[in-house]
Amino acid sequence: MFKGSSVALVTPMQKDGSIDYEALFGLVDWHIDAGTESLVVLGTTGESSSLTLTEREHVIAAVVSQVNGRVPVIVGTGAASTSVALEYTQQAQSLGANGALLVTPYYVKPTQQGLFEHFSLIAQRCSIPQVLYNVPSRSGCDLQPETVARLAREPAVVALKEATGDLHRLKALLDLQCGLNLLSGDDASSADFMLQGGHGVISVTANIAPEQVKAVCTAALSGDGALARQLNEPLRELHASLFLESNPIPVKWLLEDMGRIQGTLRLPLTSLGCMHHEMLRMSAKSAGVNFND
């Protein structure tokens, strides 16, 4: 379940900010047809922090129903508060999700012991398979490899999404032999991450180029470094351009430009600056993305 090409899926919204379920179902089917191996909903890219508990329930239930067992559905359930993260994880489990993605508590800057106790409590109270998520650039804290190894003793903890982009961190995790599947959370370094022992990627770029990202994953996980790097080369500019502004601002703009969704964001996120439009569009075309124009 926690290997290969996973997409950190956007949450499409109507112009009034309500969830656009028709567009969401279209994305789900498109990704499955393109070979995406699992769908990650309500993560950072899915604007999870802007959704109410009721909206989360409706999105999870809708995606699980639309997927209908074709691929695993992983739900972002992390929060700054342990009690809220527990509630989100219990909700995902009760609605039939296949896994939960738990980002480190953000803003509060817990110690390593605090992180250990936070994740341990959730793992002991929820049996749903859990993916720890380390993204210090957003959360303000760094889940250290030694803490990951301690948490790996919990049966429910099965994987780690490591988004530092630091391949030395990957080596440290592999050296600890903690038995978790290690997933890249950084598109720019994901090919090398997999070639050096990682097991897959949870990708923002896959929102735009799912077939291309899947092809890179297949080559990298088979050990064909030359092919993986050849396939990844046209994606490099797109990997970078999707972070010209805070994620998911660029990816939602580009999906609208492709005719797949309306690019509506919820405040405090605002529309992509016009100075970035052409650069983003050209990077997608260079990656082989098709537009409806």
The rounded percent of the chain whose pLDDT value lies above 90 is 98
CA 220/CA 210 separation, integer angstroms:
15
34-43 per-position pLDDT tens digit = 999 999 999 9
Every domain of the chain and the residues it spans? 4-222
231-271 per-position pLDDT tens digit = 999 999 999 999 999 999 999 999 999 999 999 999 999 99
pLDDT over 70 at 293, yes or no: no
Which of the residues are catalytic? 133, 161
- Mean pLDDT, the chain, as a whole number? 97
Sign of CA dihedral 223, 227, 229, 231: negative
Tokens, residue 215: 């092809």
Confidence of residue 14 (pLDDT cuts 50, 70, 90): very high
The rounded percent of the chain whose pLDDT value lies above 70 is 99
pLDDT over 60 at 20, yes or no: yes
CA 282/CA 189 separation, integer angstroms:
21
Tokens, residue 290: 């098709």
157: β partners = 130
56-67 per-position pLDDT tens digit = 999 999 999 999
Overall pTM surpassing 0.85 (yes/no): yes
User: What is the topology classification, in CATH, of domain 4-222?
Assistant: TIM Barrel (3.20.20)
Looking at residue 151, its pLDDT comes to 99
Tokens, residue 129: 């398979």
CB count in 10 Å sphere of residue 226: 8
DSSP output for the chain: --SEEEEE----B-TTS-B-HHHHHHHHHHHHHHT--EEEESSTTTTGGGS-HHHHHHHHHHHHHHHTTSS-EEEE---SSHHHHHHHHHHHHHTT-SEEEEEPPPSS---HHHHHHHHHHHHHH--S-EEEEE-HHHHS----HHHHHHHTTSTTEEEEEE-S--HHHHHHHHHTT---EEEE--GGGHHHHHHTT--EEEESGGGT-HHHHHHHHHHHHTT-HHHHHHHHGGGHHHHHHTTSSSTTHHHHHHHHHTTSS-B---TT--PPPGGGHHHHHHHHHHTT-----
pLDDT over 80 at 157, yes or no: yes
Looking at residue 222, its pLDDT comes to 98
Looking at residue 217, its pLDDT comes to 99
Looking at residue 292, its pLDDT comes to 67
